[in-house]
Amino acid sequence: MLQGNFCFISDQYYIDFPDPNVMINKEAVRGELRSRPCFFCFRDENEPRILWLVPASTKYEKFKAIHDKKKAKYGFCNTIKLGTLIGRPAAFLIQNICPVTEKYIHEIYYDKNHQPIMIEEQLAKEIIRDSRSVLKLVRAGKPVTFTNVLGIYEALKKTL
């Protein structure tokens, strides 16, 4: 079960769905390519074989400033959720959400004790709630995500 876990997606996803707004899969760390970012997973309400992935970023201050600006302007911000991941501040970028199937999950994110990385249950519920709210806006024609979530979602449904 991937619901609530964090994962990394395969390079094949970027080949099959070449959306330039899906967050890049690799990052150089001391000259070595590493899987980045990790994604928080939850299942689609209508098609459980499709997972929604919300990237997590450690660039907390950068995204907190964007979050706070949106909150000041609109009274809320449902495209960025602030919280902690592995004991460190993190931003969960609902604005960069993308759909996948399990075929594109490269690996689950584990800690040093080989336990799946998890977040607090309340934070997970809020990310899922805000993500579903954002997806409803996208389906209503509001451009609130960077990725072409509907195009990728429909393409994935055809492969099931």
SS (H, E, C) 31-82: CEEEECCCEEEEECCCCCCEEEEEEEECCHHHHHHHHHHHHHHHCCCCCEEE
Q: Helix (H, G, I), strand (E, B), or coil: what is residue 13?
A: helix
Tell me the mean pLDDT in the region 144-150: 92
Is 1 among the domain residues?
Answer: no
pLDDT value at residue 28? 46
Percent of the residues in the chain that have a pLDDT greater than 70, as a whole number: 91
Is 84 among the domain residues?
Answer: yes
How many domains in the chain? 1
For residues 92 and 57, what is the distance between their CA atoms, to the nearest angstrom? Answer: 6
Q: What's the whole-model pTM score? A: 0.90
pLDDT tens for each residue of 73-126:
999 999 999 999 999 999 999 999 999 999 999 889 988 888 899 999 999 999
Q: Are 10 and 35 in contact (CB under 8 A)?
A: no
Is 59 among the domain residues?
Answer: yes
Query: For position 104, which CATH number holds?
Result: 3.10.129.130
Is 100 among the domain residues?
Answer: yes
Q: Which helix (H) or strand (E) holds 138?
A: helix 121-139
Is 37 among the domain residues?
Answer: yes
